Structure 1
């Protein structure tokens, strides 16, 4: 060893792992749940902000194409109970499509948060039924017995190639699917810009059966 050798750690112009420079979709692997939770929170905020930045007119056009994709994914809606949602924070507005389901012989429902840490319930709803304010001031059916949907349509915050959904972080959706007496067809809906490389799925995460975006092509 020469007298000029330095024992201090070497300094690099870039991090030793430079995959992020070669592939912009590369994400450092996360194994600790606390790290995953922090990453999900930041990614959730980023994606919601991007969704809200889409103009109202553009979202309306996207929602029309998503409705076409739902018809392709579900087929004949007659006799089926289909759970949708009330649009929130830039989610695709499918209330017009919901009315069309009822006109074509199907039935529709909305999810209801009963209690933190508990599964959702579903109540039948069609245009004109009385609504009241639920959690986050989202309208919910004011009355009616719980129903079991044949199809559950869930808005996504993010979605990965294995159809794992990034939601709002409450765990309601996965908890609900695990508790239903029979498995429904589960469809995640959102915009193409919400596709991400991974959500770092955990054992409790349940993938969507189908994902529909404004491309109108079920995947």
Structure 2
């Protein structure tokens, strides 16, 4: 099965999940993510003695995502991150500079405070496929977070297999992003069990995930 066929099959299976069952599955996944987070908070060196303050004396930073269509909703886990007083970061697509010939948009994670998140109107959450210029006023209130400062990264996916190979939407954004994390960052993919396939077709640049949580 090639990538296009695998992607279509997994998305069709994901779309067929009934709303009530989907909500239950999302709740189970969010509970597991919260358990992973709490284990990490207990094990990371706390350099200041303050709760949740770890790497480089910065708040523990979690890379999240805003679910689209039938993706796993991690809204409950986002609330957990805010409840723990941690730094919540979301992907924002950045348009390449005029001098970057042949390069496409780059995925950058930006910190969104709880107040900003709950108030709404965060442009890159409302329009996740839009690419922004670096001087766009819509993103100026949301500081970019360098990948090595991210402590935990939750990765959406389209399909996966028993080897933790991941199939995304085809843009290669996470494949380019994940190698920039520091070695001890916690990386967790999330998916419904219906998205599991026998074998994900992979290219050399495709990044496997250390762990994938399904319900």
Normalised to the residue count of structure 2, the TM-score between the two structures is 0.73
Q: Residues of 1 paired with 2:211 and 2:202: CA distance?
A: 17
* Map of 2:91 onto structure 1: 111
* Residues 119, 179 of structure 1: 8 Å contact kept: no
How far did 1:84 drift? Answer: 0.9
Paired position in structure 1 for 2:158: 157
Measure how far apart 1:57 and its partner are: 1.7
Given candidates 131, 134, 139, the residue that maps to 2:122 is 131
Partner Cα distance (2:153, 2:89) in 1: 9
Who is 1:207 aligned against?
Answer: 208
Query: Aligned equivalents of 1:207 and 1:163: distance in 2?
Result: 6
Q: How does 1:171-182 map to 2 (within 5 A)?
A: 171-180=172-181, 182=182
Larger radius of gyration: 1
Q: 1:126 to 1:62 in 2, by over 3 A?
A: farther
**d(CA) in 1 for partners of 2:152, 2:188:** 7
Does residue 120 (structure 1) correspond to residue 107 (structure 2)? The answer is yes
* 8 Å contact kept, 1:119–1:173: no
SS at match of 2:115: coil
Distance change in 2, residues 1:128/1:209 (3 Å) = same
Residues 1:101 and 2:64 aligned together: no
- Structure 1 segments, 4+ long, off by >6 Å, are none
Distance 2:3 2:94 in 1: 24
How many matched pairs? 174
Gaps of 5+ in 1: 1-26, 28-38, 215-219
Asked if structure 2 preserves the Cα contact closer than 8 Å seen for 1:152 and 1:187, the reply is yes
* Secondary structure in 2 matching 1:87: coil
Distance 1:96 1:137 in 2: 25
Q: Deviations over 1:141-178 (max 9, x none)?
A: 83322113211101111111211110000011111112
User: Aligned in 2, Cα 1:113/1:194: closer, same or farther, shift over 3 Å?
Assistant: same
- Structure holding more helix per residue: 2
User: TM-score of the superposition, structure 1-length normalised?
Assistant: 0.72
Task: Specify every segment of 5 or more residues in structure 2 that has no aligned partner in the other structure, as ranges.
Answer: 42-51, 54-59, 96-102, 132-137
Q: CA deviation at 1:44?
A: 0.8
Instruction: State the Cα deviation string for residues 106-143 of structure 1 (Å, max 9, x = none).
Output: 221101111363441100124431401434369xx833
Pick closer, same or farther for the CA change 1:76–1:186 going to 2, 3 Å.
closer
Alignment of 1:5-84 (within 5 A): 39-74=2-37, 75-77=39-41, 78-79=52-53, 80-84=60-64
Cα offset, 1:105, TM superposition = 2.5
